Amino acid sequence: AWSSDHPLAPKNLACIQSTPTSLTILMTDVPELEDSPVTGCVVEQSGMLTWAEVSSQLGTEGWPGERTVIVDSLMPDTEYTFRIKTLRNQKQSPASESIVAKTASRPGLPVLFKLHRYSHMVAIDWG
């Protein structure tokens, strides 16, 4: 049974958005109780030999029991392995199962396709 003394690890991690420098991870089955809401999280990235904490921010709540976590300052087109611990009442949950996610490639070089010579406007296509 869930107890505020021993927070449960987040489950069912899924990457729901990928940009060249960030990943948004959805956690489901995160018990939310009025007297003990999730107040933060710790995201750890797998390295060569160990796990290291990385920059992240707790995103918005979705459906009951769902939260997102945004991991930023990442490199484009790179695969990462993360695990997440939630914080509530200044207590940390055990780590989730790990998730592997890949950042998007950088957009191509801008291609100028229209320039009106008398305006201050330029249209750029990121094709």
For residue range 90-111, list pLDDT tens digits in order: 889 999 999 999 999 877 555 5
**d(C-alpha 44, C-alpha 93), whole Å:** 13
Q: What is the pLDDT of residue 27?
A: 87
pLDDT surpassing 90 at residue 48? no
pLDDT surpassing 60 at residue 43? yes
SS3 123: strand
The model carries a pTM of 0.75
Q: Which of 6-15, 45-54, 81-90 has the lowest mean pLDDT?
A: 6-15
Q: What is the pLDDT of residue 112?
A: 47
Which of 87 and 4 is assigned the larger pLDDT? 87
